[in-house]
């Protein structure tokens, strides 16, 4: 059934690509036809407006929506061949194409091509929330100067915006402040809200955050402790380019950083091999017409790989751990340093599409502790409550082949390989 759903989505992407290509073609023709008029003083902008109106009528869209659609169509047709091709073949859907196009609007053609090529392989496997930072990193890597210019230009547009909603409420947003400020303020409000929640505040966390922000902006009196949490100096958010990261880590984490980096290298290589191996199995199963038993086949193959790597993993962990005589940490709860390493390795729950922050997740023993699973970086991964439950479902399987390299196997036998998050 999930294959049908995925196929239908690919079909949708294909028709949307078709529609966008037609819009781009319409725009091209209008520009050709009207080019004679340019001599009579009709500018490019007026020709654009005509195209937008035409599309607006054809699709019953408001002018703004039609303008966005035309802009996307032209961008895909003229500047983003890789992304356009990915949409046609359904490797990415419209939302992801839109994210890439938005991020690359106004970016020089050569840089845009470099960026879209760089993210092409990853985009199909990333949710919208993860694709955005991925594209941002690629732009920064491709052209650090242009990235910095765009950031400055965006900062020059910083403003407070207010909209009235049809529901009788309003939205208020500060736009284009520095990422450092944005995250620091949000984290601060969030920390205060979590504190209230822990104290038994019955409101949903979203409401607490909104109410706190409002109270703060309106200068309403707040409980002492909450006021301290909110206004006691703002820490920079970790990993943001604008400021130095806060020196919160212990000195002995330097070794952990190196280890972390080595694990990442190994996992990337292993992930490639694993993907290839499972793909071969899938191809063979298709040829043999044995797709019914696919979940079992993939599970067994993954189990065999996990078993095959067991000894190597043991000796790797032992030689890099604190105690050369044993694998991992004594006891169920991981020590603080290990926890930090795992939370940095995966910033979110390791379910592929989940955005729950790892600092708010359970650290799950991938192989259960009571079945001999070690309390070690090779057997721990953050899972939110919901996906912790899912993992315990008998038709879902989760393996950790190497520290930070996890594989989900779904009931239909599709697999999703999770590698450590790349750093900002």
List residues binding Zn ion (CB under 5 A). 317, 349, 351, 354, 356, 376, 378, 384, 387
Q: Which is nearer to Zn ion, 281 or 383 (CB)?
A: 383
Q: Which is nearer to Zn ion, 183 or 387 (CB)?
A: 387
Element spanning 44, H or E:
helix 44-59
> What's the closest the beta carbon of residue 351 comes to Zn ion, in angstroms?
4
Distance CA 380, CA 420 (A): 12
> What's the closest the beta carbon of residue 362 comes to Zn ion, in angstroms?
10
All residues at 6 or more sequence positions from 141 whose CB lies less than 8 Å from its CB, including other chains: 118
Distance CA 67, CA 51 (A): 9
> What's the closest the beta carbon of residue 207 comes to Zn ion, in angstroms?
22
Q: Which is nearer to Zn ion, 226 or 349 (CB)?
A: 349
Q: Are 178 and 186 in contact (CB under 8 A)?
A: no
Q: Which is nearer to Zn ion, 71 or 356 (CB)?
A: 356
Q: Which is nearer to Zn ion, 188 or 365 (CB)?
A: 365
> What's the closest the beta carbon of residue 1 comes to Zn ion, in angstroms?
22
> What's the closest the beta carbon of residue 424 comes to Zn ion, in angstroms?
21
Q: Are 413 and 301 in contact (CB under 8 A)?
A: no
Q: Which is nearer to Zn ion, 328 or 413 (CB)?
A: 328
All residues at 6 or more sequence positions from 110 whose CB lies less than 8 Å from its CB, including other chains: none
DSSP letters, 262-325, are: HHHHHHHHHHHHHHHHHHHHHHHHHHHT-GGGHHHHHHHHHHHHHHHHHHHHHHHHHHHSS-TT
> What's the closest the beta carbon of residue 350 comes to Zn ion, in angstroms?
8
For the chain, helix, strand, coil in percent to 5 are 60, 10, 30
Distance CA 392, CA 362 (A): 14
> What's the closest the beta carbon of residue 134 comes to Zn ion, in angstroms?
19
> What's the closest the beta carbon of residue 349 comes to Zn ion, in angstroms?
3
> What's the closest the beta carbon of residue 316 comes to Zn ion, in angstroms?
7
Helix (H, G, I), strand (E, B) or coil at 403: coil
Q: Which is nearer to Zn ion, 295 or 384 (CB)?
A: 384
Q: What does each C-alpha distance from 63 to 47, 55, 161, 328 come to in angstroms? A: 14, 9, 21, 61
Of 44, 53, 99, nearest to 76 by C-alpha is 99
Q: Are 154 and 145 in contact (CB under 8 A)?
A: no
* Angle formed at CA 255 by CA 249 and CA 257, multiple of 5 degrees: 65
Q: Which is nearer to Zn ion, 242 or 421 (CB)?
A: 421
Q: Which is nearer to Zn ion, 135 or 317 (CB)?
A: 317
């Amino acid at each position: 059934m999930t294959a049908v759903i995925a196929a239908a989505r690919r079909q949708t992407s294909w028709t949307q690509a078709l529609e966008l290509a037609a819009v781009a073609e319409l725009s091209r023709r209008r520009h050709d036809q009207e080019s004679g008029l340019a001599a009579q003083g009709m500018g490019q902008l007026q020709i654009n407006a005509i195209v937008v109106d035409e599309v607006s009528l054809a699709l019953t869209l408001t002018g703004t929506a039609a303008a966005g659609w035309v802009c996307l169509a032209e961008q895909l047709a003229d500047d983003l061949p890789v992304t356009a091709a990915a949409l046609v073949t359904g490797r990415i859907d419209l939302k992801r194409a839109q994210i890439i196009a938005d991020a690359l609007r106004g970016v020089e053609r050569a840089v845009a091509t470099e960026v879209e090529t760089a993210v092409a392989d990853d985009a199909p496997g990333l949710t919208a929330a993860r694709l955005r930072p991925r594209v941002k990193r690629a732009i920064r890597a491709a052209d650090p100067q242009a990235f910095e210019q765009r950031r400055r230009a965006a900062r020059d547009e910083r403003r407070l915006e207010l909209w009235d909603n049809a529901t009788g409420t309003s939205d208020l947003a500060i736009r284009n402040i520095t990422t450092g400020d944005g995250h620091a303020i949000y984290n601060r409000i969030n920390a205060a809200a979590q504190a209230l929640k822990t104290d038994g505040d019955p409101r949903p966390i979203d409401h607490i955050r909104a109410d706190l922000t409002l109270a703060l902006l309106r200068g309403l009196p707040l409980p002492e402790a909450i006021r301290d949490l909110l206004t006691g100096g703002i820490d920079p958010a970790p990993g943001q380019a604008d400021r130095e990261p806060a020196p919160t880590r212990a000195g002995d984490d330097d070794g952990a950083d190196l280890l972390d980096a080595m694990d990442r290298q190994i996992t990337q290589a292993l992930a490639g091999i694993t993907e290839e191996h499972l793909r071969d199995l899938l191809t063979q199963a298709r040829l043999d017409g044995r797709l019914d038993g696919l979940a079992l086949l993939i599970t067994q193959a993954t189990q065999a790989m996990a078993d095959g790597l067991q000894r190597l993993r043991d000796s790797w962990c032992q030689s890099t751990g604190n105690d050369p005589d044993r694998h991992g940490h004594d006891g169920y709860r991981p020590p603080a340093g290990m926890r930090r390493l795992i939370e940095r390795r995966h910033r979110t729950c390791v379910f592929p599409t989940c955005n729950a922050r790892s600092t708010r997740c359970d650290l799950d023993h991938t192989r259960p502790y009571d079945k001999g699973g070690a309390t070690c970086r090779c057997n721990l991964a953050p899972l939110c409550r919901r996906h912790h439950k899912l993992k315990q479902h008998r038709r879902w399987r989760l393996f950790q082949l190497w520290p930070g390299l996890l594989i989900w196997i779904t009931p239909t036998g599709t697999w999703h390989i999770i590698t450590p998050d790349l750093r900002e």
